[in-house]
Amino acid sequence: MVLSVVSNGRSVAVHAAAAVIIGLLPCELHAESGLVAQTGQSGGIVVALEFPDGKSVTAKSLADGKTLWTASAGENYMKSTEIFVASGLVWTRDLTGRDPKAGKVVRTLAQEMTGPMSHGRCYRNRITHRDYLNSATGGTDFLELDGSLESPNPWARSTRGLAVMPANGMIYHGPYVCQCAIGTMASGVNAFYNGSGNADRRFTVEIEPRLVKGPAFGKGDGPAATADDWPTYRSWPLFHPSC
**pTM reported for the whole predicted model:** 0.68
**DSSP sequence for 189-229:** SEEE---TT-TT---------SPPP-TTTT---SPPP-GGG
> Which has the higher per-residue pLDDT, 131 or 160?
131
- How distant, in Å, are the alpha carbons of 56, 78, 100 from that of 69? 11, 27, 9
pLDDT at residue 177, as a whole number:
78
**Cβ(173)–Cβ(189) below 8 Å:** yes
| pLDDT per residue as tens digits for the range 198-230 | 566 666 667 777 788 888 888 777 777 777 766
pLDDT at residue 3, as a whole number:
42
Model confidence at 181, in pLDDT bands (50, 70, 90)?
Answer: confident
9: left (phi over 0), alpha (psi -120 to 50) or beta: left
| pLDDT per residue as tens digits for the range 124-143 | 899 999 999 999 998 999 99
**Cβ(133)–Cβ(76) below 8 Å:** no
Q: Is the pLDDT of residue 36 over 90?
A: no
Q: Is the pLDDT of residue 243 over 50?
A: no
pLDDT at residue 37, as a whole number:
53
Range with the lowest mean pLDDT among 14-28, 185-199, 226-240?
A: 14-28
